[in-house]
Amino acid sequence: MESNALIIIAIGIASIFGLWVILYFVPVGLWFSALVSGVRISLLQLILMRWRKIKPEVIVNSLIAATKAGLKLNRNELEAHYLAGGRVQSVVTALISADKANMELDFKSATAIDLAGRDVFLAVQMSVNPKVINTPPVAAVAKDGIQLIAKARVTVRANLKQLVGGAGEETILARIGEGVVSSIGSADSHKKVLENPDSISRVVLEKGLDSGTAFEILSIDIADIDVGKNIGAVLQMDQANADKNIAQAKAEERRAMAVATEQEMKARAQEARANVIQAEAEIPKAIAEAFRSGNLGIMDYYKFENIKADTRMRESISMPPEQGAQRKGSAKGDQK
């Protein structure tokens, strides 16, 4: 009895497992749902999807949604996109949204956008509902030297035809910043820019900054403009300081040359005095030689000394009192 019970239990477990396997490889419920929804697909095709490692519910549910929305999609194309790693349900949802919004988007373009790594459904939503991008503060200097800091709001929508290979938001922001700098820099006065901030928008829009990008610029609005530094005055001050430093350096160079010249002249004066002293030292030798040779007599010598004394007296009279007293003292010392 016990062996019969075990056999019955084993047969029951095997039957349940076999039924589960059959239902897994033969999704009857999914086939019936497709049938009542108007999607023609056979059980053999669903079984082959399992063997190709494709989830039949993804393909069938996508076909059901497309059929109910009035779209005609090919099952083989959906399977090929699934095997390529694409998001089938996202593509089908995007196609349905684009069709309801009267937008031109075919299956080939949608799958290309999806395989490029972009969210095609989000792109369709952005094309229907434009997106606002806030630019970071952009600083520019007008011709009068005044710095202006502007912030812009850019309204864009997705360009479905250029989503594959088109530049992203970073390129849009960079081009907007370049356009703002160019517009402010070409203004003669910052006051004109403050009076008419829409002139920046017009100039930027005329440049066609959305070419080659995945977006289409609808409008550019200047949200805020602040007055920054007086860059022209700062540059002039820096130039004046630089000129002053150069002038000071040149003046210091001339002063150093003058000091060197003065020292050189003093050295030459000392050399001249030394030559005079050396020449005066030869006078007594010459007098002695004149005495020995008989060319100079004693009376001539006294006359010479009297002339020297008279000369010193006249010089002391013409000098101030203090210098005269010093000169007399030195004369007496010489006589001694």
Q: What is the pLDDT of residues 234-292, one digit of tens each?
A: 777 888 888 888 988 888 888 889 888 888 888 888 888 888 888 877 877 777 777 77
Global pTM reads: 0.52
Reported as a pLDDT band with limits 50, 70 and 90, residue 61 is confident
Task: Determine the residue type at 275.
Answer: N
Checking if the pLDDT of 9 tops 70, the result is no
pLDDT at 293: 79
- 332 backbone dihedrals φ, ψ, rounded to 5°: -60, -40
Checking if the pLDDT of 1 tops 60, the result is no
Question: What is the rounded CA–CA span in Å between residue 165 and residue 212?
Answer: 8
101 contact partners, CB below 8 Å, separation of at least 6:
124, 127, 128
pLDDT at 336: 43
Checking if the pLDDT of 331 tops 60, the result is no
Reported as a pLDDT band with limits 50, 70 and 90, residue 199 is confident
Can you tell me the mean pLDDT for 199-217?
77
Query: What are the Cα distances from residue 245, in Å, to 78, 174, 234, 239, 248?
Result: 77, 40, 16, 10, 5
The string of DSSP letters for 158-208 reads: E-GGGTTT-B-HHHHHHHHHHHHHHHHHT-S-HHHHHH-THHHHHHHHHT-
- For tokens 């002339």, the residue is 307
Contact indicator for 59, 50 with CB cutoff of 8 Å = no
pLDDT at 210: 73
Contact indicator for 107, 91 with CB cutoff of 8 Å = yes
Checking if the pLDDT of 17 tops 80, the result is no
Q: Which CATH number fits domain 131-233: 3.30.450.20, 3.40.1190.20, 3.40.366.30, 3.30.479.30?
A: 3.30.479.30
Q: What is the pLDDT of residues 67-121, one digit of tens each?
A: 888 888 888 888 888 888 888 888 888 888 888 888 888 888 888 888 888 888 8
Checking if the pLDDT of 150 tops 80, the result is yes
